[in-house]
Amino acid sequence: MARKFFVGGNWKCNGTTEEVKKIVTILNEAEVPSEDVVEVVVSPPFVFLPLVKNLLRSDFHVAAQNCWVRKGGAFTGEVSAEMLVNLGIPWVILGHSERRALLNESNDFVGDKVAYALSQGLKVIACIGETLEQRESGSTMAVVAAQTKAIADKIFNWDNIVLAYEPVWAIGTGKVATPAQAQEVHFELRKWLKDNVSAEVAASTRIIYGGSVNGANCKELAAQPDVDGFLVGGASLKLEFVDIIKSAT
């Protein structure tokens, strides 16, 4: 089954109402390949989700950057999967390395979050990736396999998951993985899925790359056979995000 190219824009904790409206205007006016060729999902901070959803062109979609691990209730400051569904938000990013590192989200916790979000009907961009120390000690595959296993152990259906490989050392550093480095890990991840989930899931699951992707390096990365798109941080707030979307073709 052909895997449709996927480009996510993670706006992280950035933006004012005016800035958000400006980005949406740029996106709405952009000439990009059709929805049949590339799936585009942008992820503003929670407070801007309704605004962006209302203003954004209908062929692009929105994602939240997180959601609570279970049903809502007395969990001050959290936003539940049910609330996102209620607002018509189709996607959520879970397991981003910033949350794993700064908020101590463990593999298990991320696995539970992914399973709960899927059970409520959300689609999930599930993030995994190794630190520089882990890469240099040769444990990249062991780390990303353990992160993926914690998710795989808790879900039964991979139709609504995009796996985002984001090496921590490449995030926000300007130090992008080389196309060969990205391809190597994506290939191994697909093999892991084949060996541990199924050949069908391995063939159909999109594995996207994140970490210092920009308008200049996206083409070469996109040409790798196991790179099915991108999760873009900094560059998703700029005009060059449009070029990244165009790298689908």
CB of 127 to ligand G3H, least distance (A): 7
Question: Catalytic residue among 61, 96, 105, 186, which?
Answer: 96
CB of 96 to ligand G3H, least distance (A): 6
- The Cα–Cα gap between 15 and 21 comes to 9
96 is catalytic: yes
CB contact burial 176-212 (16+ within 10 A = b; e otherwise): bbebebbbbbbebbbebbeeebeeebbeebbbbbbbb
Question: Catalytic residue among 39, 98, 130, 166, which?
Answer: 166
Identify which of residues 166 and 226 has a Cβ nearer to ligand G3H in the complex: 166
Contact, 84 vs 121, CB < 8 A?
Answer: no
> Minimal CB distance to ligand G3H: which residue?
233
Closest CA to 232 of 43, 32, 53, 58: 43
- Three-state SS at 41: strand
Q: Which two tokens stand for residue 185?
A: 């890990």
CB of 232 to ligand G3H, least distance (A): 5
- The Cα–Cα gap between 182 and 220 comes to 11
Using CB under 6 A as the criterion, which residues of the chain lie in contact with ligand G3H when the complex forms? Answer: 10, 96, 166, 171-172, 210-213, 231-235
Single-letter residue type at 231: L
19 is catalytic: no
Residue 175 phi, psi (nearest 5)? -105, 80
Termini Cα distance of the chain? 18
CB of 174 to ligand G3H, least distance (A): 8
Identify which of residues 10 and 134 has a Cβ nearer to ligand G3H in the complex: 10
Q: Cβ atoms within 10 A of the Cβ of 149, count?
A: 15
Identify which of residues 56 and 171 has a Cβ nearer to ligand G3H in the complex: 171
Identify which of residues 129 and 202 has a Cβ nearer to ligand G3H in the complex: 129
Identify which of residues 121 and 172 has a Cβ nearer to ligand G3H in the complex: 172
Total residues found in the chain within this entry: 249
- The Cα–Cα gap between 219 and 78 comes to 37
CB of 76 to ligand G3H, least distance (A): 26
Q: Which residues are catalytic?
A: 96, 166
